[in-house]
Amino acid sequence: MRISDMANRIQPSLTRRLFDMAQRYDNVIDFTLGDPDYETPDYVKKAGCDAIMAGKTKYAANAGIAELRQVVAARIEDETGVRYDPASEIQITVGAMEGLFLTLCCLVNPGDEIIIPSPHWVNYGHMTEILSGHPVFVEAKECDDFVVKPEAVRAAITDKTVAIIINSPNNPTGAVYDAKTIEEICKMAVEHDFAIIWDECYKSILYDGAKYTSILDFPGMKDHAVVINSCSKRYSMTGWRVGYLAGPAELVTNMPKLQENIAACVTVPSQYAAIKALSSDDTEPDRMRAGFESRRNVLVKGINDIDKLSVRSPKGTFYAMVNIQGTGMTSEEFAYALLEKEQVAVVPGITYGPACEGYVRIAFTMNEDKIEEGVRRIRRFVESL
Ligand code: PLP
């Protein structure tokens, strides 16, 4: 059998590799995946179960069931004041993951360029390459709080640029984009007519009372941006695989054709669960957010107390990038040795781009006792070097 060059080229991320390696140990503290330990709220689980028992177990519209698209449009309007037409401007997706992929499918011709501020979520680059596009990584430095400089974006624009992907709050750094930077990027998108793919799947996990700045807060951006979100992180629904996006009709109306050939539709009981999640005003998601904030504080304090390591307090998400440069090890050396010696799994920064060599990512998705135990083991490991 001849396997395509593309399939051969795409490699599993180090995040998955370290996660898989971690499963071989009994007493492991696994800081790899962004999969919170919180349960999906009961009222959401019940809505999914009720849908199954009511026989809502058949194919549905490629764009997603109409009621969910209406709920999504209403929610976006409520949060931003921007009105999307549920029939032509909203697509229900298999997580934010498929929202990103469908968007790139609609934008990228072979050789087109996608600007990706880096440190970045690995899949952005892979998805672009699957479509024979070129990811153009632009470094966002730690001294700039991992927010990309507008001048650096400008310098990366060519006549092949079709989009930039902005992820705020950011995986892996926890950075949150400020209004001034977003405004500059908006100007460039209008001037050079490229799309802004706005991945806001961590939007609800913000700390220190911060208020979210959305791409839709900027005039005219409804015509230039695709806003991507999902139920995964806010409602701890990673395994339900349900997400959604909003964008201009000329782009979004192409997606049902593509969805027909990819997944047909998002799992129907998951869509009913999402209706419940997105239309409920239950405070469970806020409790989870508060829980992450207190876990973050435990982790940041613990790591900054260790000689040779440092970490900036992430402003959002449940990830922290720990600076390990003081140990003189590469991020892969550090991660493999830490796992072997202390059974603590972290992700080598190099996964997220060359700018992250010298860092490891920690996902604080478990309870504080486990985080404290993980930090104790990391301290022992660093002191033993
Ligand atoms: N975007 C970012 C930045 C992520 O970190 C993730 C998952 O970790 C996703 C998108 C995809 O999430 P999901 O498909 O579960 O909504």
Listed by start position, the domains of the chain span 5-40+283-383, 42-278
Q: Which of 269-273, 281-285, 338-342, 380-384 has the lowest mean pLDDT?
A: 281-285
Provide mean pLDDT across the span 53-63: 98
User: Per-residue pLDDT tens for 94-142?
Assistant: 999 999 999 999 999 999 999 999 999 999 999 999 999 999 999 999 8
Residue 201 CB neighbour total at 10 angstroms:
25
Q: Spell out the residues 6+ positions from residue 136 whose beta carbon is closer than 8 angstroms to its own.
A: 113, 114, 115, 116, 156, 161
Provide mean pLDDT across the span 146-155: 97
The response to whether residue 232 sits with its C-beta less than 6 Å from ligand 1 reads yes
Q: Could you tell me the CA-to-CA distances from 202 to 32, 186, 234, 285, 290 in Å, in that order?
A: 17, 21, 7, 12, 14
Higher pLDDT, 26 or 218: 218
The response to whether residue 259 sits with its C-beta less than 6 Å from ligand 1 reads no
Q: In whole angstroms, give the CA distance from residue 321 to residue 338.
A: 16
The response to whether residue 235 sits with its C-beta less than 6 Å from ligand 1 reads no
Residue 240 is predicted with a pLDDT of 98
Provide mean pLDDT across the span 369-373: 97
Distance 1 CA to ligand 1 centre (A): 33
The response to whether residue 97 sits with its C-beta less than 6 Å from ligand 1 reads yes
The response to whether residue 121 sits with its C-beta less than 6 Å from ligand 1 reads yes
The response to whether residue 181 sits with its C-beta less than 6 Å from ligand 1 reads no
Distance 98 CA to ligand 1 centre (A): 9
Q: In whole angstroms, give the CA distance from residue 270 to residue 51.
A: 9
Best mutation site among 121, 170, 262 for ligand 1 pocket (most ligand atoms within 8 Å of CB): 121
Residue 209 is predicted with a pLDDT of 93
The response to whether residue 171 sits with its C-beta less than 6 Å from ligand 1 reads yes
Distance 173 CA to ligand 1 centre (A): 14
Q: Could you tell me the CA-to-CA distances from 292 to 75, 136, 171, 204 in Å, in that order?
A: 24, 32, 15, 11
Q: Going by DSSP bridges, is the β-strand pair 344-345/319-323 parallel, antiparallel, or unpaired?
A: unpaired
The response to whether residue 168 sits with its C-beta less than 6 Å from ligand 1 reads no
Residue 170 is predicted with a pLDDT of 96
User: Per-residue pLDDT tens for 179-206?
Assistant: 999 999 999 999 999 999 999 999 999 9
Given a cut of 90, whether residue 34 has pLDDT beyond it is no
The response to whether residue 352 sits with its C-beta less than 6 Å from ligand 1 reads no
Given a cut of 90, whether residue 16 has pLDDT beyond it is no
Provide mean pLDDT across the span 72-81: 96
Contact 271, 92 (CB under 8 A): yes
The response to whether residue 284 sits with its C-beta less than 6 Å from ligand 1 reads no
Calculate the average pLDDT of the chain.
96
The response to whether residue 236 sits with its C-beta less than 6 Å from ligand 1 reads no
Distance 357 CA to ligand 1 centre (A): 22
Distance 35 CA to ligand 1 centre (A): 10
Distance 96 CA to ligand 1 centre (A): 6
The response to whether residue 34 sits with its C-beta less than 6 Å from ligand 1 reads yes
Structure tokens at 38: 């919180």
What percent of the chain shows pLDDT beyond 90?
Answer: 91
pTM for the model: 0.95
User: Per-residue pLDDT tens for 206-236?
Assistant: 999 999 999 999 999 999 999 999 999 999 9
Q: Which of 22-31, 261-270, 300-309, 320-329 has the lowest mean pLDDT?
A: 22-31
Given a cut of 90, whether residue 13 has pLDDT beyond it is no
Return the amino acid letter for 222: K
Distance 213 CA to ligand 1 centre (A): 19
Distance 201 CA to ligand 1 centre (A): 6
User: Per-residue pLDDT tens for 159-175?
Assistant: 999 999 999 999 999 99
CA dihedral 67, 68, 74, 79 (to 10 degrees): 170
Domain spanning 42-278: CATH 3.40.640.10: yes
Distance 291 CA to ligand 1 centre (A): 20
The domain made up of 5-40+283-383 has a fold known as Aspartate Aminotransferase, domain 1 (3.90.1150)
